[in-house]
Homo-oligomer: A and B are copies of this chain.
């Protein structure tokens, strides 16, 4: 049943996804037009709709592909590693993603901001499960005295928010800082922030 994709299909689908990311992340779903995406992809509008059923289909495909990438860093949190190094490593990976994939971050943020109508299910299933599992791990680390007492859910929220801030609010950050690139200092700051938060007090 599943016919294999031809090379030309692969190329054009990829071009559309890429163009969609570029355009949607700049103008949002409603703010973007098929013409814009078509132009960015180097295709005609009807040609777009030959590969994707609708504008919404492009957007949804983009979001779903994005979700995997987005959950991956948290998935890599290793229960058997050194607790503080693991969490700081997670912070590091997330901040690096904000630096390297700001469009993805903004697309995601926009979707959540507007009530996440396209991925509500994903959030309350996959994401919730994953975070729940990692919360248990963190609580175990705490019980073992490896990290200071902490609410694992809000710890994760604060990692998400602080790291994604540098992608999502990039304009504001740069307006405040002037021309300086924020990421170097941000990495140092966040490392310190979470290190101080998690280092267990000396008994």
Residues of chain A having any CB pair with chain B under 8 Å: 26-31, 106, 109-110, 112-116, 120, 123-124, 127-128, 131-132, 148, 150-151, 153-155, 157-158, 160-162, 164-166, 168-169, 171-173, 175-178, 182, 185-186, 188-190, 192-193, 196-197
Contacts and interface: CB of A to CB of B under 8 A. Distances in A.
Q: Is the interface of A mostly helix, strand, loop or mixed?
A: helix
B171 A162 contact: no
A67 to B, nearest CB: 12
Q: Oligomeric state, in number of copies?
A: 2
Contacts of A110: 28, 110, 113-114
A27 B123 contact: no
A27 B114 contact: yes
A165 B116 CA distance: 14
A171 B120 CA distance: 8
A167 B106 CA distance: 16
A153 B188 CA distance: 12
Q: Which 7 A-B pairs give the minimum distances between C-beta atoms?
A: A161-B165, A154-B189, A30-B31, A123-B175, A124-B175, A161-B161, A116-B171
Residue among A106, A127, A175 facing the most chain B CB atoms (10 A cut-off)? A175
Nearest to A107: B113
A59 to B, nearest CB: 13
Contacts of A131: 176
A150 B191 CA distance: 11
Given A151-B185, A176-B128, A162 B168 contact: no
B26 A28 contact: no
A170 to B, nearest CB: 8
A113 to B, nearest CB: 6
A190 to B, nearest CB: 7
Contacts of A123: 171-172, 175-176
Contact of A168 (B112, B150, B154, B178): B112
